[in-house]
Amino acid sequence: MPKDFCVLVEPEQAGERLDKFLPTVLPGYTRSALQKLIEGEQVRCEGEPLNKKHKLRAGETISVTIPDPEPLDVLPEEIPLDILYEDSDLLVVNKPKHMVVHPAAGNYTGTLVNALLHHCRGSLSGINGVIRPGIVHRIDKDTSGLLIVAKNDQAHVGLAAQIKEHSFDRTYEAVVYGKFVESTGTVDKPIGRSEKDRKKMCVTTKNSKPAVTHYEVLGEYGQFTHLRLRLETGRTHQIRVHMASIGHPVAGDPVYGPKKCITELEGQCLHARSIGFVHPGTGERLSFESELPSYFVSFLDKIRRSCL
């Protein structure tokens, strides 16, 4: 059955545009999903459909209808999953390097979503659409490590709200080029899509979003540095873009790194090491950590030996 939400516009919200207002009151839904609802006349006031530029008036009630998810064409596949935790609301998965999170052009099979559809037997949140069921946040194909998956919409909304409020802890480890003057630091630079190459992200003030990455040096080995990184925000390619922007691209990164890429790594040396969050159902604080994978450990051993 379709879901209906009604939101009363408060005086302090008057004058705000509809498309900027909705994500603040429905944090579990992406901007693109809400935009589609507006275009599909699923967002109304007193029965009349609204456009995205509608200016809110104090006291009016905005109704939003979330239609049932479209039938999913992506097929379940029996793919082994490394699951660190699972209950009726969510699961925490340790994603291997090279696995795509959700289907996209050129990758409609073998993805994490294909595996989840088989494992969860259809019990996944539908908020992010038919292609990304259960996916609350993502990591790149060639980034390994921890992901949280929502099994129902209530859990999804609760987890997404924590990400938006920056109370969802995510730490990574990476090997990057160069040495650091300071052992800790913060990169606070907005990230948006590159106008020169739409497949890439970049530091820019045009059509961008705030992005903050904190880093800590764990070890230095010749021309490389082993870092721990903590995300305050979660933009596409955030760590890779931020590190490249300060002259320390991630080793093995074929997109943002040097032209002469370290091919033995088969992608960036970047691992989602730990996550921490409040369980949206029980209120319990949970945290999980993933061991560094073999490709990462092997590369660390190699650069350590080179310094002996």
Instruction: List active site positions.
Output: 140
φ, ψ for residue 9, nearest 5 deg: -80, 120
CA–CA dist 270, 171 (Å, integer): 11
**Per-residue tokens: 216:** 């800590």
Q: What proportions of the chain, in percent to the nearest 5, are helix, strand and coil?
A: 20, 30, 50
Report which of 222, 83, 251, 66 is spatially closest to residue 153, judged by C-alpha positions. 66
CA–CA dist 43, 61 (Å, integer): 11
CA–CA dist 115, 117 (Å, integer): 6
Which residues sit opposite 304 in a β-bridge? none
Give the chain's end-to-end CA distance (angstroms, integer): 65
**Per-residue tokens: 264:** 């033995």
Range list of β-strands (E), 239-304: 270-278, 285-289
Q: Please list, residue by residue across 220-251, b when 16 or more beta carbons sit within 10 angstroms of its beta carbon and e when fewer do.
A: ebeebbbbbbbbbbbbebbbbbbbbbbebbbb
Look up residue 46 and give its DSSP letter: T
CA–CA dist 123, 101 (Å, integer): 17
